[in-house]
Copies of this chain bind each other. A is one copy, B any other.
Amino acid sequence: MSEIKNKLSLEPYKGTRDFYPKEQFVQNYIFSVWKKVCESYGYLEYNASILEETELYKSKSGEEIVNEQTYSFTDRGGRNVTIRPEMTPTVARMVAQKRKELTFPLRWFSVPNLFRYERPQRGRLREHWQLNADMFGVDGMEADVEVISLAHSIMKGFGAKDSDFNIRISNRKLTTFLLKEFFRLDEDKTYKVFKLIDKMKKLPESEFKEALEKVVGEIFEELYKTLKSENLESLNQEVLNSEGGKQVKELFEKLNKLGINNLVFDFSIVRGFDYYTGTVFEVYDTSPENNRALFGGGRYDDLVGIFGVEKVPGIGFGMGDVTMRDFLETHALMPEYKPAVKLYICHLEGCLDAASSLGSYLRELGINVSVDLTNRKVSLQVKAADREKIPYVLVVGEEEVKTGKFKVKNLKDSSEIEVEKEKIVELIK
């Protein structure tokens, strides 16, 4: 064995994270808020394997993602396999598979981990976890309203104020109308402009305008002005009265009616994936230090249909754990670490068996108890409990075994109360 010593890496694989208990605590907190709010809207949890046949991503995820950004390989049976880079194709596949047995409208959520092969950077790792919440079977704007309400409620569920974030909304049908019908661009140019708009927030203004001019020619200034405007009402009436325009108006009105007002109309929201067909939205952090998209989603009415079955309209969003952590830290919304264990039982020499029995007894009464199993000094045992932020500690010695009375110490304020064995649970709960 000695020849491999020092060669084994202690680090996690590049771009992934180890979750030690304190990090897992944060992860569990984020997941629990996601789950709680989704369930309050009637969303049911589902899941699937992290491996899918590569074919699944070829048609609709967008070329860049499949070709350059996925982990794909051939298995021993010759199948092309991909570690999922996103959950939407999987959920569409599952809906297509059981569409005859499922009850619509279908409200589903999941918290999958996803892999992208990219250079790790702030808010972008190779592996992250992502809430996916989706509704299937409703093509009216009621579904769009509910899904965006859900996203809003989740932000509130984390303790965010309306001023901490806004929801930027656009509509693919509206943008398509603007480009094709109003600006009379052909199919190819429309596609190119879509891809450009997706980079609008990342490119310097001059660079963006230059690229835009290359595609559309002299109308680029007018088009740019339209794309930059965040005022829906300032749009040309013809555009505003197109199907997409009406949808955006209805969406804003209904969301306002439900008390959701931190909305911004924003043409630059298109979302990278090719499968979106209508409403698209992104939630932005409004703080100057972290002014970026936190998550987003949209409507994809054609996705289930690519499996060769009748179409089922769908709408949903994905919300990542990495960006959520950044948001919670930026806004001081991260909860303090608390271990699930409430009591640490220490023992004097010869009393370990008694300590173990007491541990079993208390566990059966419903409290979480750790027993120190080492032979070290009691002071070191107590120190271990304190370092782990366990709130209560007690020491089992011969005296305690004899009398059946224990001094329960609160490590936060150092207060100590002596109680009988039967009263320990009551004291701690």
Q: How far is the CA of A131 from the CA of B137 in the complex (A)?
A: 36
Indicate the size class of the contact surface on chain A. 35 or more
- The interface-forming segment of A38-46, A201-209, A322-330 is A38-46
Give the shortest distance, in Å, between A273 (CB) and chain B (any CB). 15
Q: Is the CB of B368 within 8 A of A49?
A: no
Q: Mark A361-390, 1 if CB is under 8 A from B, else 0.
A: 001001111111111000000001001100
CA distance A331 to B44 in the complex (A): 27
Answer yes or no: A413 CB below 8 A from chain B CBs: no
Q: Which residues of B lie under 8 Å from residue A149 when comparing CB positions?
A: 360
Asked if A16 CB lies within 8 Å of chain B CBs, one says yes
- Contact in complex: A20, B143 (CB < 8 Å): no
A182 within 8 A of B: no
Q: Is A348 an interface residue (CB 8 A)?
A: no
Q: Is the CB of B18 within 8 A of A97?
A: yes
Indicate with 1 or 0, residue by residue over A8-31, a CB within 8 angstroms of chain B CB atoms.
Answer: 111111101111110011011000
Question: CA of A8 to CA of B97 in the docked complex: distance in angstroms?
Answer: 11
Query: Chain B: which residue is nearest A370 at the CB level?
Result: B42
Q: What residues of chain B lie closer than 8 Å to A306, measured between beta carbons?
A: 1, 4-5, 8
When the two chains form their complex, are residues A49 and B127 in contact, meaning their CB atoms are under 8 A apart? yes
Residues of B within 8 A of A19 (CB): 46-48
CB closest chain-B residue, reference A11: B97
State whether the Cβ of A411 lies closer than 8 Å to any Cβ in chain B: no
| Complex-state Cα separation, A54 to B411, whole angstroms | 44
> Do A49 and B98 touch across chains, with their CB atoms under 8 A apart?
no
| A407 contacts across to B, CB distance below 8 A | none
Name the residue on B nearest A302 (C-beta).
Answer: B1
Q: Name the contact of A258 in the complex, choosing from B17, B115, B356 (C-beta under 8 A).
A: B356
Chain A 211-240, CB within 8 Å of chain B: the 1/0 string? Answer: 000000000000000000000000000000
Assess whether B117 is in contact with A340, with CB atoms less than 8 Å apart.
no
CB-based contact B76/A117 at 8 Å: yes
Which residues of A are in contact with B by a Cβ distance under 8 Å?
Answer: 1, 4-14, 16-21, 24-25, 27-28, 39-42, 44-53, 55-56, 58-59, 71, 73, 75-77, 79, 81, 83, 93-94, 96-98, 103-105, 107-108, 113, 115, 117, 127, 135, 137-138, 140, 142-143, 145-146, 149, 153, 254, 257-258, 306-308, 339-341, 344, 352-353, 356-357, 359-360, 363, 366-375, 384, 387-388
Q: Could you jot down 23 A-B contacts, CB within 8 Å? A: A8-B55, A8-B56, A8-B306, A8-B308, A10-B307, A12-B48, A13-B52, A16-B49, A21-B108, A24-B44, A24-B46, A27-B47, A39-B341, A41-B369, A42-B341, A42-B368, A42-B369, A42-B370, A49-B127, A51-B83, A104-B374, A143-B373, A146-B371
